[in-house]
Amino acid sequence: MMALIDCAGYGMPLWVWTGLRKDEASVLEVGRQRAMREEGGFSYRNAHILAEGDAVAGMVIGYRLANPYDAGDLASIPEAFRPLVELEALVPGSWYINVVAVHAEHRGRGLGSRLLEHACEIARRAESRVVSMIFESRNQGAYRLYQRLGYRETARRPRIPFPGDATGSEEWVLMTKALG
């Protein structure tokens, strides 16, 4: 699960977990402990796992963004996160897909589409009218998938590298989908 979260976050989760690491805990254990919290969007309570046989094939984590959305003091958060917070602030009250990822060996079989449709069903049950997500501009395969599923580009922000970042992507892309 932690590997999927880090993959979907383009390495940012591992960077954050490394900074929170104390004593002898592994970086992935720090991430697991954060995901095991009862509160907050990044909680196991908002995670939905897709299995194939005995293997975890993919997952989605989603939750409603606050409305109104308080971006707070952007200067107080790491610079790499500021564009993400700015984009989230554009879609207050939307059902935010924080993580959607499928392990490489399970890709190409429609599992990403299934996970996104599942997220939309959860959003509908929660009476959300809009689903939102943010991803890297270089991920053109994801961009095409999201468009095919009815998501539309809403905004972009420059992507600011973080320590250890090697993706080379230039922008974060916010996409939204209206739910009928």
Looking at the domain assignment, is residue 169 inside a domain? yes
Range of the domain at 157: 40-178
Looking at the domain assignment, is residue 64 inside a domain? yes
| 11 backbone φψ class: left, alpha, beta (φ>0; ψ -120 to 50) | left
- How many domains is the chain built from? 1
| CATH number, domain with residue 94 | 3.40.630.30
Q: Whole-prediction pTM value?
A: 0.92
- Taking alpha carbons only, the member of 111, 87, 138 closest to residue 4 is 111
Q: Give the Cα separation of 144 and 88 in Å (integer).
A: 21
Contacts of 126 (CB under 8 A, 6+ apart): 64, 95
Looking at the domain assignment, is residue 7 inside a domain? no
Looking at the domain assignment, is residue 17 inside a domain? no
Looking at the domain assignment, is residue 26 inside a domain? no
Q: Give the pLDDT confidence of 41-93 residue by residue, as tens digits.
A: 889 999 999 999 898 999 999 999 999 999 999 999 999 999 999 999 999 99
Q: Give the pLDDT confidence of 123-141 residue by residue, as tens digits.
A: 999 999 999 999 999 999 9
Whether the Cβ atoms of residue 155 and residue 90 lie closer than 8 Å to each other: yes
Looking at the domain assignment, is residue 22 inside a domain? no
